[in-house]
Amino acid sequence: MAEFKEISPNASASEKVTNWFENRFPTAFDAYKVHMSEYYAPKNFNFWYIFGSLALLVLVIQIVTGIFLVMHYKPDAALAFGSVEYIMRDVPWGWLIRYMHSTGASAFFVVVYLHMFRGLIYGSYRKPRELVWIFGCAIFLCLMAEAFMGYLLPWGQMSYWGAQVIVNLFAAIPFVGPDLALLIRGDYVVGDATLNRFFSFHVIAVPLVLLGLVVAHLLALHDVGSNNPDGIEIKGPNAPRDAAGHPLDGVPFHPYYTVHDIFAVSMFLMVFTAIIFFAPEMGGYFLEYNNFIPADPLKTPAHIAPVWYFTPYYSMLRAITSEMMYALIACVLGAAAFSIYKFKMPTLFKAVIAGAAVVATVLMLNIDAKFWGVVVMGGAVIILFFLPWLDYSPVKSIRYRPDWHKYLYGIFVINFVVLAYLGVQAPSALGERVSQVGTLFYFGFFLLMPWWSALGASKPVPARVNFAAH
């Protein structure tokens, strides 16, 4: 057992209380030092580095409001919609809790998308932070599952039919699809069994996995240290340090960045509360108007679309038509031919690539386009996991890459927003064509990254981080 630390009898009451706890729970105080007061973060963090803390804040908001909602919600197909109305109309402050939870769902994806974009432009997925990025992508995937299952719970028209459409997509998987869709639904149609399954996963199973991944993400980050806008390792073997061994280009996370994050949190909460009190539906993007109508299995809405944060992937799903399959086949064959021609490799490897391209072509021609749409939609998320091994640029940060890289990243963002907008709109010939081009660009951005990321002359990276006091 560790020895107790003595304290002066003349110490203040707060110091005595702190000493009492520290002697009896030293692990917590050691963790505080490792992850807060003695964790040195780069001193040149900018605006883009607030979204990780905001994501943690929104996670807490969702958990706390979810606990209060569960107290009054009934996971029963005959009672679910009525229980939500009861929360909104009769439970004291129930409307506020419900709007905090629904607005928090959208806020979560806003801050997570911005957090991931920061990692993209500053190379936060590069060595030695590959595992940090993989944990982050797993959090994103888990968050999508959590949001999808929670979306069914209000049991409104859009919730019901959205779940019906998405679950039916699994039936397109060859051989196991119908059984898999039946397993997910728990019945032959979306009904009471589906609602109970989604409720248990949304409230218990997925949040536990999500919390575990968040802890792993933070621990992995603090083990290797935070990245910064310059992409310079402040804790590397050659990094300058003071007499105590602390990096000269870093500052303790507490109090410097805790104050920084508290300011960001206050700004975020102003916007968050303004939306809750003045525009909780956000014009039908956060809460669709059809979801204020009880679910009716006999009446299909004129246009079924998921919530806005799923719509980029929904656009990619709808983009895969029988006609689009020929474009995908051309891309597969072209990529195989380019690899065989461009890269030096044994004849056996070339034969394997050529054979795989032929097999993929045969499969694409013989399996329904609906299945490939599901593959593309899932692949759009899964491909993010491989980003650390797709980027061949000699520098991490966008600051020191060729200027045209910035325009390419800008086009990528615009393309993603356009896909999100098209996913909300009713299907049209023009929208279908634009979404097909956008889908090809999205995958081309990542799959061709080993080629284009290495092009152009990089700017010299400074030995120390660029920092101006403010």
For 208-234, the DSSP string reads HHHHHHHHHHHHHHHHH----TT---T
Does residue 283 carry a pLDDT above 80? Answer: yes
Is 254 known to sit in a ligand binding site?
no
246 is in an annotated binding site: no
pLDDT digits (tens, 9 = 90+) for 192-224: 999 999 999 999 999 999 999 999 999 999 899
> Mean per-residue pLDDT for 349-373?
84
Residue 1 has pLDDT above 60, yes or no: no
Q: Residue 449's pLDDT is what?
A: 92
Q: Is 294 exposed, middle or buried (0-12, 13-18, 19+ CB in 10 A)?
A: middle
Contact 186, 193 (CB under 8 A): yes
pLDDT at 2: 59
Q: According to CATH, what is the number of the domain 308-452? A: 1.20.810.10
Secondary structure of residue 171 in the 3-state scheme: coil
Q: Which of 64-68, 181-185, 228-232, 361-365 has the highest mean pLDDT?
A: 64-68
Q: Is the pLDDT of residue 436 over 70?
A: yes
Where is 26: in which H helix or E strand? Answer: helix 26-32
Residue 157's pLDDT band (cuts 50, 70, 90): very high
Predicted confidence at residue 52, as pLDDT, reads 93
User: Would you say 371 and 172 are in contact if contact means Cβ atoms under 8 Å apart?
Assistant: yes
Average pLDDT over residues 244-250: 83
Confidence at residue 334, expressed as pLDDT on a 0 to 100 scale:
84
Of the pLDDT bands very low, low, confident and very high (cuts 50, 70, 90), residue 152 is very high
pLDDT of residue 49: 93
Q: Write down the domain spans for the chain.
A: 31-288, 308-452
Average pLDDT over residues 134-146: 96
Q: Is 101 annotated in some ligand binding site?
A: yes
Residue 419: band (very low, low, confident or very high) from pLDDT cuts 50, 70, 90 = very high
| More reliable by pLDDT, 343 or 167 | 167
pLDDT of 469 reads 65
C-alpha–C-alpha distance, residues 230 and 463, integer Å:
10
222 is in an annotated binding site: yes
Give the count of beta carbons closer than 10 Å to the beta carbon of residue 410. Answer: 10
31-288 and 308-452, same CATH topology: yes
pTM over the 0.85 mark: yes
Can you give the pLDDT at residue 269?
96
182 close to 193: Cβ distance less than 8 angstroms: no
| Cβ-based neighbours of 195, under 8 Å, separated by 6 or more | 75, 76, 77, 80, 152, 153, 155
Residue with tokens 């993989």: 134
Confidence of residue 234 (pLDDT cuts 50, 70, 90): confident
The span from the first CA to the last CA of the chain, in angstroms, equals 46
Q: What pLDDT is stored for residue 80 in this prediction?
A: 95
Confidence (pLDDT) at 402: 94
Q: Which residues in 169-219 belong to E strands, given as ranges?
A: none
Mean of pLDDT values over 353-372? 84
Q: State the CB neighbour count (10 A cutoff) for residue 231.
A: 20
Query: What's the average model confidence in pLDDT over 300-326?
Result: 89
Q: What's the rounded mean pLDDT across residues 10-34?
A: 83
Q: Work out the percent of the chain whose per-residue pLDDT is above 70.
A: 99
Identify the band that residue 168 occupies on the pLDDT scale cut at 50, 70 and 90: confident
Question: For 40-49, b where at least 16 C-beta lie within 10 A, e where not — what string?
Answer: bbbbbbeebb
pLDDT digits (tens, 9 = 90+) for 451-460: 899 998 899 9
pLDDT of residue 75: 94
- pLDDT-wise least confident of 25-29, 67-71, 265-269, 421-425: 25-29
pLDDT of residue 359: 86
- Given the candidates 1.20.810.10, 1.10.3210.10, 1.10.10.10, 1.10.10.60, the CATH classification of the domain at 31-288 is 1.20.810.10
Mean pLDDT, rounded, of the chain:
90
Q: What span, in angstroms and rounded, lies between the C-alpha atoms of 306 and 109?
A: 14
72 annotated as ligand-binding: no
